[in-house]
Chain A
Amino acid sequence: MPEPTDPLTERLRGTAGLGPLLAEAEAVWRTRAAGADGASAAPAWRPFEDAFPTFYQFTNRPPR
């Protein structure tokens, strides 16, 4: 695991607006996972890796 002194990690932690943005994103992901947004064209939420299996190497697939 990278040490907490990693400069990119520190910058991520120091970006004040990141927390609220992530909270909004996580709410979107929860809504999609519940399949309750009603506005998405997708039949059910699928992580983008499944929409784009050729997104190779970007396979940091979340646990299901």
Chain B
Amino acid sequence: MSSRELWTGMRGLSAVPSYVILQPTTLCNLDCAYCYLPHRAADRRMSAEVAALVAGTVNRWAAYAPRFSVVWHGGEPLSVGRAALAELMTPFVGVEHHVQTNATLVDDAWCGFFAEHEVRVGVSVDGPQELTGQRVARGGRPAYDQIMRGIGALRAHRIPFAALCVVTDPRPGLATRLYEYFLDLGCYALGINVEEREGVNTRSTTYPEEGVRAFWAELAGAWRAEPRIELREIEWALRYAGATLAGAADELLPRQHDPIPTVAYDGTVVLLSPELAGFTDPTYGDFSSGNVRDAPLDEIVARAAAGPAGWIAEYLAGVEACRTSCPYFGFCGGAHAANRYFEHGRFDGTETDHCRNSKIRLLEGVLDHAGAH
């Protein structure tokens, strides 16, 4: 038996998630070049009935968890308007609400809404204007000025916000510039998403190894010089490295996969991978595990956890293949489902571009930085 078969986390699917993702609408008011969403031009909205059905389960889960998050993700969740979003939120009790927004609609009134409902805000912005150029409205008009107005409102109202930054073609010379930009922007946390080939985004994400490693190494150095922002990827890698040196690396991965239910606008439930919602495949169908109009969400998740079938069973087999073949498994926990599917056409393959760009080269880049300093 290989030593790496002994990693003990990520075995099977938990029957209880730590958060759910809800799609209040399919619509996004932007049309970013790298977006994976298939129906972002259509305004298909979640009904109050669907939200209440989800809350029927979520409130029970939340009652037994120290924290439980409801993430309003789109489309652009703010495009439904404050009254509609408030109506969708109303049946939830004892949860933390999050929105991931492009910030273009954020104004004083939205800031009041965030404060009143204690909504945690994540903003999508890719850096200075020239690096945010792929975030555009329909017709191609750059969205940067609108994004900055929204962020200005958040700052004026002292609403804390995290930032998610998509990086296309990570390369030397980029990371310090980006990090300094986000220091000035005023976010308290930053996540870096190297562009992924998912959904309707079919652009290549095969980047030169040395450039990607150099990007992460440079980012580690920039954070080290001014560690004022929670820098997700770098700190995640450092946490793993520290646990390894302490002999505790095997304790980091969750024991089981979080099922991460995504509930689409119409009540369809897709587990493990929000990126699969809205897609169909001749082999895998619509990837759904059920619909909250037909069965309670906890029953849908418990059934999938007790007897994984279809693409989920194939994915779990793929995780086991990662466990036995990849030296980075203890860090990563296995290639993500959507990356496998959109890159390989199946769920039981192993290493993906996303693994290489955002996990393997991340860890190696941090080690490159450490080794050089």
- A interface residues with partner B (beta carbon < 8 Å): 1-3, 5-9, 11-13, 15-22, 24-26, 28-29, 32, 37, 39-43, 45-48, 50-62, 64
Contact = CB atoms under 8 A, between A and B. Distances in A.
Given A16-B370, A25-B242, A45-B230, 13 more contacts: A5-B3, A9-B244, A12-B245, A16-B371, A18-B367, A37-B228, A46-B189, A48-B189, A51-B191, A52-B191, A54-B71, A59-B258, A60-B240
B260 interface: yes
Interface stretch (B80-88, B131-139, B141-149, B231-239): B231-239
Contacts of A52: 122, 162, 164, 189, 191, 232
Contacts of A12: 241, 244-245, 367
A51 B250 CA distance: 24
B244 A13 contact: yes
Interface stretch (B50-58, B278-286, B299-307, B325-333): B325-333
A39 B220 CA distance: 19
A57 to B, nearest CB: 5
B194 interface: no
Contacts of A1: 6, 8, 247, 249-250
Contacts of A40: 188, 228-229
Interface of B: 3-4, 6-8, 10, 18-19, 21, 66-67, 69, 71, 73, 98, 100, 120, 122, 160, 162, 164, 186-189, 191, 220, 224, 227-232, 235-236, 238-242, 244-245, 247, 249-250, 252-254, 257-258, 260, 272, 274, 327-328, 330, 332-334, 336, 367, 369-373
A18 B191 CA distance: 22
Nearest to A13: B245
A39 B367 contact: no
B44 to A, nearest CB: 21
Nearest to B68: A53
Given A42-B230, A60-B252, A54 B73 contact: yes
Contact of B257 (A2, A28, A43, A57): A57
Given A1-B250, A9-B244, A53-B19, A41 B232 contact: no
A56 B228 contact: no
